[in-house]
Chains A and B, each alone.
Chain A
Amino acid sequence: MNGAPGADGRVLRIEGLHKSFGRLEVLKGIDLSVSEHEVICLIGASGSGKSTLLRCIDLLEPIEQGRIVIRGEEVTARGVDVNKVRRQIGIVFQAFNLFPHMTVLRNVTLGPTEALKLSKAESETRAVELLERFGLAEKKGDYPDRLSGGQQQRVAIIRSLAMQPDILLLDEVTSALDPELVSGVLDLIRELARGGMTMVIATHEMGFARDIANRVCFLDEGVILEEGPPEQIFSSPQQPRTQQFLQSIIEAGRM
């Protein structure tokens, strides 16, 4: 793990985050803090700003207002080495994750060798270890087109893990998968949580969220409308909008 948590044990702290795309304000003041080993699940409708929030944390999007502090270092300040920050954060997207022109092994070793400047041997050892741990070792010489969608996403997560990040951001990583492949990916994430990985997970999989989250945040129209432990959010949501949202999920048969 890189560095120690901030003085108050927090890995990530977001204060008053505003983000606009042109004239459209997508995030209207987000406050969030994540402690070490915590698993936060972000739920909410499409367009509520979940993906944007995760991308902002990884400094993939510039912000209009607010601060993001990672392990005590304000990463939204001027003069920050953005690449260095990104090495500490892992992010996995919904699709188009793996580099299709590289083998699975090379996909995983690219970051360690080029960004962390590890030797080829070291990177490969680390990569093979991770692939073995999650049952994908025999795929290491294959190109992504030979893997199922679920396998690809698992490799994508492994690729982020190879960087040994402080925090892992998962942006609806199962939403584009065929349903029977989803469980494989969710199992992997569960194991990471058991292992103490700090994670912020945007997801539609409510059952999974209920299982794994320490805290659930409901995003609605650019703000965290409600947050709390899963039992509270799922069983007795306070806000009417939260209730509406959960109701629509139930009706769609996803819970």
Chain B
Amino acid sequence: MRKVLIGIAAFGLLLAACAESSEETSSPSASGSTAAECAKSVTTYVGSGVLTVGTDNPAYPPWYAGGHTTDTNWKINNPATGKGFESAVAYAVADKLGFATDQVQWVEVPFNKSFAPGPKDFDFDINQISYKPTRAEAVDFSDSYYDANQALVALKGAPITGASTLTDLKQYKLGAQIGTTSYDYIANNIQPTQDPGIYDSNNDAITALRNGQIDGIVVDLPSAFFITAVQIPDGVIVGQFPTIGQQEYFGMVFQRGNSLVTCVNQALEELKADGTLAGIQDKWLSQVVNVPVFSTS
């Protein structure tokens, strides 16, 4: 009789153990489990035993740094250096998910490909992409890894540098890069009298600014700092734009329905909680101080 009871108890324990582990595999839950545990239960990784991260080429500062070498196709910066804001964030998230540095692989993902229908060739894409509800119909976004504000870059001494309100800016020809929410901001909040110039890259916008074809570039604040520090020495940040409506933020982009989102969000939580994210921001985006804000009138 005792043997039977032990057998039943053992069987019951076994069942309980199975039940618990099957719970884990069927639905990764954020409550109580770490990002790493969550990540282990995800089955949809593109590569095996690696985390595949995508970004666009060239990889611009301050989002990426450390330069590039000729043995890869990356231009300006190689994301695999771990240097630069987004590169650092990606590796930090990977770490929380349980991937070592050498288990992170980077792929080139042109902007348009990140949201094209069909299976993605990345686990997530990190490329200064702002969350928008309409965009979330096509892809899944992580939570914010950076709250983005827009700023205005112009040439020193130009009349536009005297502007202090959004209304002041109406008369100027502005420019922005395609794919950024800068165009939305211009169209919705500034509503200038001239059509803005929309360029394929920030570099084209900078050329246009230098040529006098546009009066100012609307671009995210960190990029604005890099542009005025390095690319246009005679450029200035005229001001930053106030948030109107929802705070804009950058999120990673995932295939729709990819359960990895939950794990990454968990990772971001952990990074915010233990101060890592703030540290990365301080290190790579530290100049976000003392920039006047345009007033909305």
A/B: CB atoms within 8 Å of each other: no
